[in-house]
Structure formats: C-alpha cells, structure tokens
Structure 1
C-alpha cells in the first residue's frame, strides 16, 4: 500500500473535524503527489506531540525557521510506510528520544496552515507520542531549543494550534484510560 493510500484510509477512519477531514481527502483525490513537498497546491505533513502524562508535560521544539514553539513534525519521506510512521520518525528525530510510542487510535487532530510559496499549505495530521519514563531529549539541527512545558504553560509560549493539540491529546489520553 502506498503512503497516499494509507493517508486516505487514516483520514476516512478519523471521526472528528469533518469539514477539514473532507478538505484533506479532496486534496488527495485531486493531487496524486499530495503527500510530497513538491506538490505546489500543498501537501500532507505528519507531526506528533511528545507528552509525558505522568509529569503532566509536553516537549516542544523552538523551530529554527519559524522561531515558534511547536510539536515535532514535518514532511513525509519516501521511506515512510504510513502517516503514523512518518509522525513517529519525525518525533524521534527532532526530540532525540528513543522508545516513543504513538497513542493508539490514530491521529488526535488535523491542522491546516499556510506556508510560503512555492507550496501554499501544510495539511498536518497530528498524533500523540508517549515518552518513556526517564526520557532525555536532545536538540536536533532543526531546533533552536527543546523544552518540557507543564500543560498550563503551553498557552504562554505556543500559538493556538499547539494549545488545541495539547487539549485534544489530553482528551484522547483520558478516553484511552477509561
């Protein structure tokens, strides 16, 4: 199965954000190259919020190009078999933490945001990655800084999309523990 086909299945199974989900599906239907950075109409990306529920913290990266605190994530690569694998790869590379595990149940959110030309949109599929106990992070070349934040601190440092992702991740964690 291609990464494009996996993305379609993941999105069809995603039961929230119906309008945005349909926009992603329509994009993939119109653009066979819609998974790749070369697609000038925009492309899907995969990200993961690294979370340590025991400490009540999330790990954010100070993005080198954007100068913003964000979750780990980025472009899909030809070696990625699935969107989930792309999100986990990105989270591992950017956090330096081995042994991350994606929260079961698929993505926790979708977020569409503009980017500079030649591409115009990132259609981000967002997962949650659970950090193993005693995790030690390591800054990657893509980051200016990497820092753990208590849930309550996130609105003070990150934009609304990250705040929503933290809220949706915490809700997914709560559902998973029931």
Structure 2
C-alpha cells in the first residue's frame, strides 16, 4: 500500500500503538490459546504502516463492543443495514483513537446509550472476517478487536443511520437472531467471564 498520502502524524501514532496492540494480543493468546485469529492480526500489524486506513486493499483494524446488561443475561445487537444481519455494535477507528475508545464511541452512536461500564480493558474477543465491496472500496478484511461493556439497566435504544434497529437479546435466544459463529462465541465467553469493572461516560 502507498503511504504517501497518509498524514505522517497518523503513521507515527500507529507505530506507537503497535507495541500496545501486540501486548494486548499476546495476553489474549495466553487466555485463549485455541484461537488462531490473534496470529492473523499480529501478522497484519507487522506488515502495515497505516493500521486503520480504509483505503488499504489488505484491510484494516476495526473495533466492536459486546454490550451486556448488569446480570450478563442479555446483549445488544444492531441490525446492520449493509450486511442485513444482526451483529454487535462496532465500526471503524478514527485517527488518533484507540480501539477501546473507538468501541465505546461506536456503541454510543449505534445504540444511543451514553453511559457505559468498561467491564474489562483487555481484549474480549478477536475476529478476522471478509467485508464485501461497498462505499469503502473493494472487498477487504476487517481485523476486529472487541471489548466488553455494560449498559445501564433497561437502557433505551435507538437506531442510527447505519442500522435498522437495536435490541436487547437474551443470550439464550441469540441463535434466533444471528447465526454468526463469533456472536455465539461471545455469548459463551460472557458466561465464563469474571468481573473487574471501570466506569466511563461517552
């Protein structure tokens, strides 16, 4: 990929962030040694200068939020307009933004909730998936970094211009809304997770 048109400050920020992301991914691998996706993300980080640029033909790092209720019995899914499927809130990372900050921002934009608890600053899940051709250019990979958030009890939801709805889905009913293996995997991780929270307002 040609980096000539990329703001050099963004490339410098990306370089500084690489070590942090490597540490997060290596920690994740220790907790989930059976998963292969972290190795794919580590390889991508090692080969790319502009980690989040949407003009990369190879793909870019994205972020998602797995948002649960205080009882951790339900999660928020949004109906993605382009993909026409129920998925977790998430999207692209803005310049000079960390993946965790991006996940909180995207969750707020796609659900209307402005008050979250970051249940864990470590990576909750990692996914590498093919994204179809569209307004962002040719088909490409999303190297998605996912974080665990908690929303207030009975928080009201609304849909933004990129989604056709947002809903609280009981974890035991997720398979009725999504056949995505990674969504169902995050439900299983929710049941196994142990708490260590931090509060944040978007």
How does the TM-score come out when normalised to structure 1?
Answer: 0.88
| Cα separation, partners in 2 of 1:145 and 1:38, compared to 1, 3 Å | same
User: Do 2:76 and 2:166's aligned partners in 1 also have CA atoms closer than 8 Å?
Assistant: yes
- Which of the numbers 165, 168, 185 marks the counterpart of 1:164? 185
1:15 matched to 2:25? The reply is no
CA distance in 1, matches of 2:141, 2:63: 13
CA distance in 2, matches of 1:79, 1:124: 17
- 1:72 aligns with 89
Equivalenced residues, count: 174
Deviation at 1:91, TM superposition (A): 0.6
User: Do 2:28 and 2:123's aligned partners in 1 also have CA atoms closer than 8 Å?
Assistant: no
Q: In structure 2, the residue corresponding to 1:176 is in which secondary structure?
A: coil
Unpaired segments ≥5 residues, structure 2: 1-11, 197-202
- 1:145 aligns with 165
CA distance in 2, matches of 1:104, 1:55: 13
Q: In structure 2, the residue corresponding to 1:132 is in which secondary structure?
A: coil
Unpaired segments ≥5 residues, structure 1: none
Q: Compare CA radii of gyration and give the structure with the larger one.
A: 2
- 1:88 aligns with 104
Deviation at 1:111, TM superposition (A): 0.5
1:100 matched to 2:111? The reply is no
Please list every run of at least 4 consecutive aligned residues from structure 1 whose deviation after the TM superposition is greater than 3 angstroms: none
User: Do 2:13 and 2:96's aligned partners in 1 also have CA atoms closer than 8 Å?
Assistant: no
- 1:43 aligns with 60
Q: In structure 1, the residue corresponding to 2:91 is in which secondary structure?
A: strand
Q: Give CA deviations for 1:107-136 in whole Å, capped at 9, x if unaligned.
A: 111000011242410010011110022411
Q: Which moved more, 1:19-28 or 1:62-71?
A: 19-28
1:114 matched to 2:130? The reply is yes
Q: In structure 2, the residue corresponding to 1:107 is in which secondary structure?
A: strand
How does the TM-score come out when normalised to structure 2?
Answer: 0.78
Q: In structure 1, the residue corresponding to 2:71 is in which secondary structure?
A: coil
Over aligned residues, Cα RMSD in angstroms?
A: 2.0
| Cα separation, partners in 2 of 1:58 and 1:31, compared to 1, 3 Å | same
CA distance in 1, matches of 2:141, 2:52: 12
| Cα separation, partners in 2 of 1:62 and 1:20, compared to 1, 3 Å | same
